[in-house]
Structure 1
Amino acid sequence: MSCRLYEGKEQASSYWKYRIAPSDHLIQQVLNFLEKQMDQPFELAVDVGCGSGQGTLLLAKYFASVVGTDVSPAQLEMATQHTQEPNITYRRCVAEDLPFADGSADLVTAMSAFHWFDRPRFLQEAHRILKPRGCLALLNYTMDMRLSSPDRCSDSLNRVCNQFYAALHPYRSAKLGPSSIEFYREAHGSIPYPDKEWHECVWVERPMPLSSYMGLVESFSSYQALLKEDPQKATALSQDVCQRLMSIMRVTSVETEVVVAVKYFYLLACKPQEA
């Protein structure tokens, strides 16, 4: 059974506000892989575990129809509120039972969600709905993000960040194990498709206010678990980290811009013509 998180309205709002979507470059890598396998125009993309829809939106201009799916009504409500593209729709369902016909999808994606699924069942379901030569793309990023600020020592900033991540590690879901990247490596090895790729380390830099970086980390499941167990401890930890970062940067505003380097990994796989 997949693990259900981020279903409340408050968390859905935080997810939309702070969570990051793959960069245009990463989406283009997915499309380049798909274009090698199938002729355009592309008809249907299914974004599974879409959350509040940031990644789903990136697919709209490349497909006649894009459908984001999620188990959370609050997440889907948030996604719908921020979607104006007429070719995007959303469906509530679990990742392991997708409401699509056999061989109907050109692309199936899961962006920062696959590790929460019942992975073998989801891979079977993705195989079922993919067209022959259709593609599966599973993307995620690690928590060990790097922070930099002009004219300030990045090493000092990242020592504080690493201490933040270490403090949250005991609250990491047991379902994820020591590192979710292992689930993606395992999936890459188990998918019986001859045409597949594994990319383990792709750094993407994103400028954002320090407040957004803090909100991003606070949206992670480990911080949310700490917040649920001990709200006072979670708030004190977050405030301490933020103050220490501002002190190193010699700023007084949490809206000061920083550059956050995010490490992505992803796998791409093409369903054979004769499957």
Structure 2
Amino acid sequence: MAYRLFEGKKHASSYWKHRISPSDELIRQMLDFLEKRKGHPFELAVDVCCGSGQGTVRLAKHFASVVGTDVSPAQVEVALENAKEPNITYRQCVAEELPLADSSVDLVTAMSAFHWFDRPRFLHEAHRVLKPNGCLALINYTVNMELSYPDCCSDTLNQVCKEFYAALEPYRSPHLGPSSMELYREAYESIPYPDKDWQECVWVKRPMPLSSYMGLVETFSSYQALLREDPQKATTLSQDICQRLMSVMRVTSVETEVVVAVKYFYLLACKPQEA
């Protein structure tokens, strides 16, 4: 069973504004894996459950064409509103039924989305559309991000962050289990391809305003679940956490820049030539 979330226009717009896409380093690791197995040219990439398209645009300069797909009309609408690259197209469809021909795709990606899919059906569908020696890349990051700010005790700062994550934990979807990483690890073990790679700890640091960090956490499914159940409680929680973070940092502006460390994990797999 696939789970349908993040579909409203307001949430889609927030996705575009606050959601992070994989770093250049992660994109490069994905492309290096593909280049060593298949080689150039890179003709077609498909970014499945692309949301508002942040990850999709990162692929555009490396492929002749890129297709971003999402089940949500609102997400596709926001992606189209922000589309500038002429070689990207967006399609509304479910992840398990891609509107693509057999053996037509060089790279299938799903960035921070695979855990919501009907995973066996999606893996079967990815196998169908991939060319021989084409590659599958499933990327995600953990919720427990870490902040740093000059002349500020990181332990104290991140204790506040941990309290934020802990307050959202009761609203986490039971579908995800204790850790979404385990869902990806299970997929890695189930994929029958002999040539595959698993990495579970790749830290990426990126500067952003404190307001963007707060906005990012507010896009998470657990915060959105709390927001639906009790809007006042959700808003008060976010405002309280933000004020406490500013107090620890000894700043007065929510636009103050912090460094956010994000822990990524991913699996890469190459469809065999004989498949």
1:42-121 superposed matches below 5 A = 42-121=42-121
Q: Deviations over 1:49-99 (max 9, x none)?
A: 000000000000111110000001110111111111110000000000011
Give the 3-state SS of the residue equivalent to 2:43 in structure 1: strand
Unmatched tracts of structure 2, length 5 or more: none
Determine the C-alpha separation between the residues in 2 that align with 1:59 and 1:233.
39
Unmatched tracts of structure 1, length 5 or more: none
Give the 3-state SS of the residue equivalent to 1:159 in structure 2: helix
Residue of structure 2 equivalent to 1:179:
179
Q: Please state if 1:263 is matched with 2:272.
A: no
Give the residue type in structure 2 aligned to 1:264: Y
Give the 3-state SS of the residue equivalent to 1:10 in structure 2: helix
Give the residue type in structure 1 aligned to 2:248: I
Give the 3-state SS of the residue equivalent to 1:136 in structure 2: strand
**RMSD of Structure 2 on Structure 1 (CA):** 0.5
Determine the C-alpha separation between the residues in 2 that align with 1:231 and 1:93.
30
Residue of structure 1 equivalent to 2:38:
38
Q: Deviations over 1:134-170 (max 9, x none)?
A: 0000000000000000110010000000000000000
Give the 3-state SS of the residue equivalent to 1:42 in structure 2: coil
1:140-179 superposed matches below 5 A = 140-179=140-179
Determine the C-alpha separation between the residues in 2 that align with 1:56 and 1:148.
29
Residue of structure 1 equivalent to 2:2:
2
TM-score of the superposed pair, with normalisation by structure 2: 0.99
Give the 3-state SS of the residue equivalent to 2:106 in structure 1: strand
| 1:222 CA drift (Å) | 0.1
Give the residue type in structure 2 aligned to 1:222: S
Determine the C-alpha separation between the residues in 2 that align with 1:69 and 1:37.
25
| 1:39 CA drift (Å) | 2.2
| 1:204 CA drift (Å) | 0.3
Determine the C-alpha separation between the residues in 2 that align with 1:41 and 1:84.
23
Residue of structure 1 equivalent to 2:237:
237
Residue of structure 2 equivalent to 1:217:
217
Residue identity over aligned pairs, in percent, reads 79
Give the residue type in structure 1 aligned to 2:208: M
Deviates more, 1:9-18 or 1:76-85: 76-85
Determine the C-alpha separation between the residues in 1 that align with 2:2 and 2:20.
22
| 1:175 CA drift (Å) | 1.0
| 1:178 CA drift (Å) | 0.9
Residue of structure 1 equivalent to 2:28:
28
Determine the C-alpha separation between the residues in 2 that align with 1:16 and 1:149.
25
Q: Deviations over 1:178-224 (max 9, x none)?
A: 11000100010000001000000000001000000000001000000
Give the residue type in structure 2 aligned to 1:273: Q
